[in-house]
């Protein structure tokens, strides 16, 4: 099963005030839309993302983190924009698609997962909240009547559909609709209601920005973990440090490839997740890890972080040794670590120090490494 997403960001939303359309206004220092993109990327299983923008916003969109994202220019109506997004996802051949409003940045993974799970049984599924307040009709500032709220829901997004079914529904559809559930229902698709979330508010009015910021700040989880590792020198003609082969007149001993720097960073990530260490996830008693390339461990830790909704925002590693000299290799190490972790190189630091010939590292008996990793769950 593959899942794709369409984020609809082509609207010009005037009610929110400000000089820019609401999805481009700042929320905690960056555009609303960049939070929405991050949230969709965190949904397990979501691969290709089509971001539908207004042609005037192309430069702004290109400044966003667009990993995994195809930019699509929207049409004159919301329906036309969604359709353009769906058409752009055809090469990805997804089974399911989530269609989400750019102005709903506070999307929790559990809501999206409820929608996706419901799609195993129905052609469509969407989150909604039961109306609990009394409903009135108003006229010129006076209550003109009441409305029975039984069976009424407030619709939210992401609305999920089997991809082929909603694509066909949009292709067949003409005219304006409120949302994709309406398009789906007009095509005869059944749409399940799943439990929405009060925090999944749509930024609409000027006061909504402050409310969304409060919700996001309240749940942002920032964690720091540390890692420490030591490997002893033995026979050999090279060492592997932070994924880079460095010629040397000795090697490092260990069960795996003894990449002490990569082990320290991996343990820092496990530490931030409060989930053990390399030895627990890859027991040295298990022969399958003998001589293993350490990127397997680091990739596992990074995948675990992502699975739990964390973004690794920074890793810093210090190698402690007199020899080999690290300086000439440090930028290669930084690049290689960043590549394995799927991060920009400016989020990874590799540096070195000697220990002034003191202690075991000073006597050249081995190499030590310390590392710190910072993880953020928005």
Which of 191, 197, 203, 298 has the alpha carbon at shortest distance from 243? Answer: 298
- Ordered alpha helix ranges (H), 120-259: 163-172, 180-186, 208-219
Nearest distance, CB of residue 129 and Mg ion, angstroms: 50
Nearest distance, CB of residue 335 and Mg ion, angstroms: 22
Contact between 295 and Mg ion per CB under 5 A = no
Nearest distance, CB of residue 327 and Mg ion, angstroms: 23
Contact between 257 and Mg ion per CB under 5 A = no
Nearer to Mg ion, 141 or 287 (CB): 287
The residue range among 213-221, 226-234, 315-323, 369-377 that interacts with Mg ion, by the rule CB under 5 A, is 226-234
Contact between 100 and Mg ion per CB under 5 A = no
Give the max Cα distance, the chain.
Answer: 89
Cα 323 to Cα 8, 254, 262: the distances in Å are 55, 18, 18
Cα 345 to Cα 222, 242, 341: the distances in Å are 20, 13, 10
The residue range among 84-92, 97-105, 227-235, 239-247 that interacts with Mg ion, by the rule CB under 5 A, is 227-235
Contact between 229 and Mg ion per CB under 5 A = yes
* DSSP 3-state of 154: strand
Nearer to Mg ion, 166 or 340 (CB): 340
Number of residues engaging Mg ion in binding (CB under 5 A): 2
The residue range among 207-215, 229-237, 244-252, 328-336 that interacts with Mg ion, by the rule CB under 5 A, is 229-237
Nearest distance, CB of residue 260 and Mg ion, angstroms: 6
Q: How far is it, in rounded angstroms, from Cα 251 to Cα 231?
A: 10
Nearer to Mg ion, 229 or 316 (CB): 229
What token pair was written down for 184? Answer: 């789906």
Among 100, 104, 202, 263, binds Mg ion (CB under 5 A): 263
Nearest distance, CB of residue 258 and Mg ion, angstroms: 7
Question: Measured at CB, which residue is nearest to Mg ion?
Answer: 263
At 38, give phi and psi (nearest 5°).
-60, -45
Q: 172-178: long-range contacts at Cβ-Cβ below 8 A with a sequence spacing of 24 or more?
A: 173/79, 173/83, 175/79, 176/77, 176/78, 176/79, 177/78, 177/79
Binding residues for Mg ion (CB under 5 A)? 229, 263
């Amino acid at each position: 099963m593959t899942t794709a997403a369409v984020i609809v960001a082509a609207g010009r939303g005037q009610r929110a005030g400000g000089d820019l359309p609401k999805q481009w206004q700042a929320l905690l220092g960056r555009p609303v839309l960049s939070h929405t993109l991050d949230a969709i990327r965190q949904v397990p299983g979501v691969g290709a993302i089509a971001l539908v923008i207004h042609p005037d916003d192309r430069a702004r969109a290109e400044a966003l983190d667009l990993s995994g994202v195809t930019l699509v220019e929207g049409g004159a109506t919301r329906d036309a924009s969604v359709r353009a997004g769906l058409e752009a996802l055809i090469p990805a051949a997804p089974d399911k698609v989530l269609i989400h409003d750019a102005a709903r940045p506070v999307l929790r993974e559990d809501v999206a997962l409820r929608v996706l799970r419901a799609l195993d049984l129905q052609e469509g599924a969407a989150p909604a909240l039961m109306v609990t307040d009394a409903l009135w009709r108003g006229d010129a500032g006076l209550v003109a009547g009441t409305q029975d709220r039984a069976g009424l829901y407030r619709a939210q997004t992401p609305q999920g559909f089997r991809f082929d079914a909603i694509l066909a529904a949009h292709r067949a559809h003409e005219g304006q609709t409120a949302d994709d559930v309406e398009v789906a229902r007009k095509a005869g698709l059944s749409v399940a209601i799943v439990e929405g979330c009060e925090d999944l508010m749509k930024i609409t009015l000027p006061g909504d920005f402050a409310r969304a910021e409060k919700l996001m700040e309240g749940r942002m989880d920032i964690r720091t973990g540390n890692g420490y590792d030591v490997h002893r020198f033995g026979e050999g003609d090279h060492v592997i440090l932070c994924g880079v082969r460095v010629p040397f007149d000795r090697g490092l001993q260990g069960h795996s490839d003894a990449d002490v720097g990569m082990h320290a960073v991996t343990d820092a990530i496990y530490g931030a997740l409060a989930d053990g260490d390399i030895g627990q996830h890859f027991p040295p008693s298990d022969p399958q890890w003998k001589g293993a390339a350490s990127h397997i461990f680091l990739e596992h830790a990074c995948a675990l972080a992502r699975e739990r909704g964390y973004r690794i925002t920074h890793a810093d590693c210090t190698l402690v040794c007199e020899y080999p000299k690290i300086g000439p290799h440090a930028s290669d190490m930084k690049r290689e670590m960043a590549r394995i972790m799927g991060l920009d190189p400016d989020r990874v630091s590799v540096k070195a120090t000697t220990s002034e010939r003191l202690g075991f590292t000073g006597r050249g008996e081995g190499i030590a490494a310390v590392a710190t990793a910072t993880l953020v769950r928005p």
